[in-house]
Chains A and B, each alone.
Chain A
Amino acid sequence: MTSAVGLAEEGLKLRALDPDLPMLAARAAMELDNYRSSGEAAFVAVKELSRRLNNSFRNQGAAAQKASLDSGTVTLVGRALNTSRWSGDVATIDQLDSELWQVARRLQDVEDDPRGQPVDKIRDFCVALSECASSYRQAFHDLRPGHPFRR
């Protein structure tokens, strides 16, 4: 059967409220961890995440990369970068763009040839992205009135 991931929209960008993001990022983390421990380079989710991240940048190839993200996704990504300690704490939007671009490049590089890549670091970002995406969605939806009989 065709991979459902592969059937996704070509132009899909990273979106904080995408329901599949927690599982997609977790699966990417597992693929990276599996490569680290077994050497098996099977990157279905890594590829999909890489595609969404790359689609989220304007002026690809230019020196200064600018992410084209809605404000909610900026918040999510900043939290994931901070949680995974990708670099220092994200203080500015420019810094966030630059670090996210690094993540996008690294994911692309892993997909092309994982040898010599900081696989642990990228995996940790994916883990953080999964957790932060899940909590972001939860926080958003908790603001909706719930069913009074449900506890």
Chain B
Amino acid sequence: MQCLEYSKRRLGAFLEEIQRLKGAEFPYVHSEHALQLIEGWFAGYLGQLNKLTATSDPKTVRTSCAAELSGLFEYLPLLGFILRSTNARNAFEVHGPLLRLAREVVKPNIKLVYSSEWEYSPLTYLGITHLPDYVLIGSPAHESDNPLLLPLAGHELGHSVWATRDLLSKFSPTIEAKILADIKTRWKEYHALFPDVANHAALTTDFFAQQTWSPAADWAVRQSEEGFCDFVGLRIFGESYLHAFAYLLAPKSLGFRSVIYPNLGKRVEGFIKAAAQYGFTVPVGYRDEFEDLMSPSGFDRQQVFLLSLADAAATSLTDALIAEAKSLVDGNLKHAYSEAEIGAVLGDFEAVAPATDAGCLANILNAGWRAFHHPALWQEIPQIRSKEKTLKELIIKSIEVFEYEQLLKVPL
């Protein structure tokens, strides 16, 4: 079977690429270690492909080759990401503080690969079983020197918290119950769209009926996860998260919404609710900075109905998710931001000095955003030609000082 030979060659080339990448200079060991783990998994898979023979079951051979091909589709971008984590354009100063933060809120033995990425939205690669205990966070390449966007890493850490704490198991029964309850309330609508489902009872006992509403549950779970991640970011970074989010996404991107995110307006309403719970002020007019995206084009009536169920189920969990994020972050974060410390850092910035004794990353970033929005800052200092550039450098330098201070207390 020719496809088996092609499959082996493809995997061989992939493994050779990993070998070449391992020759790169890694600023921290986690990227290199991630490559070794990926290599181990694919080498094992190749070893298994090599055992297939002419007498092997043809269906097994074909599916194994197809799975290998899917694996390459999914892992090749990951290799690129790991390679880019070695690029000098990355702000290496932030790796230590972000790693400390991840070890506090996610897991003590977590490893971090932080890199610029050629995707606009900050992202995290998640659920990579071959990279257990890893957090991989990407930020858009053109903003990789912009520390003001660092609060968004809190969202990405939230995904790891969600996975590590198995919050899917915790929240999916509630989501499914809400969806089923709403279907019962809207039975006429549902029955018109899915006439083969005879009655309420079938929804949870009949396999066919279960499949009619299952996509709504999938979408609602993902929307809830995204909401939870926002709340983790808000709890860790406070108001600075709001500014970073708005900088990146306001008013909206054109096009249609994704089913796995709450629509933008609903998402921001969640922020405002969380801010009230977490005790910080939302900037005046913040909600009005954003607009909802359009509904997905090409959805049929069934999908539109399912999306409405998903949205309602995710919204119903908002309060619980805000509380969950607060509980998990507060229970693990060693040093939360405070008004007094933010004020002290801002005082250093006003004196054009890097902050010392900042206490935590969030203090630096909140002070950074306040400085950013301070219209008169440094106006009397003619030597400062670019306020933004100077501010970014001050923030990065403050993060570096903060990390040195931490290293003296607890080495990584």
Q: Give the B-binding residues of A (Cβ under 8 A).
A: 1-5, 7-9, 11-13, 15-20, 22-27, 29-31, 33-34, 36-38, 40, 44-45, 68, 70-72, 74-75, 78, 90-96, 120, 123-124, 127, 130-131, 134, 140, 143-145
The proximity string for B residues 245-265 relative to A, scoring 1 for CB distances below 8 Å and 0 otherwise, is 000000000011011100000
A124's closest neighbor in chain B, by CB?
Answer: B59
22 CB contacts below 8 A, A to B, read A1-B36, A4-B132, A7-B132, A11-B166, A15-B168, A19-B74, A26-B63, A27-B44, A27-B67, A30-B48, A30-B64, A45-B48, A70-B168, A71-B217, A75-B211, A75-B214, A93-B204, A96-B207, A123-B57, A124-B59, A143-B259, A143-B296
Contact residues of B: prevailing secondary structure: helix
Contact of B70 among A13, A134, A145 (CB under 8 A): A134
B299's closest neighbor in chain A, by CB?
Answer: A143
Give the number of residue pairs across the A-B interface with Cβ within 8 Å: 161
A77's closest neighbor in chain B, by CB?
Answer: B207
Contact of B51 among A29, A38, A145 (CB under 8 A): A38
Cβ contact within 8 Å between B205 and A93:
yes
Give the bracket for the number of chain B residues in contact with chain A: 35 or more
Contact of B127 among A18, A124, A143 (CB under 8 A): A18
B260's closest neighbor in chain A, by CB?
Answer: A144
Neighbouring A residues of B208 by C-beta, 8 Å: 91
Question: Are A13 and B169 CB-contacts (below 8 A) given A4-B37, A131-B66?
Answer: yes
Neighbouring A residues of B55 by C-beta, 8 Å: 37
B residues 105-132 in Cβ contact with A at 8 Å:
127-132
For the complex, what is the distance from the CA of A26 to the CA of B255, rounded to whole Å?
Answer: 37
Neighbouring B residues of A38 by C-beta, 8 Å: 51
B37's closest neighbor in chain A, by CB?
Answer: A4
The 9 A-B pairs of least Cβ separation, nearest first, read A26-B67, A4-B130, A71-B214, A71-B217, A20-B129, A30-B48, A72-B218, A70-B172, A26-B64
Neighbouring B residues of A95 by C-beta, 8 Å: 207
A15-B168, A18-B127 are known; give 14 further A-B pairs, CB within 8 A: A1-B36, A16-B218, A19-B129, A22-B67, A23-B41, A23-B70, A26-B68, A40-B51, A90-B207, A91-B208, A93-B204, A123-B57, A124-B59, A127-B59
Question: Are A19 and B52 CB-contacts (below 8 A) given A71-B217, A72-B214?
Answer: no
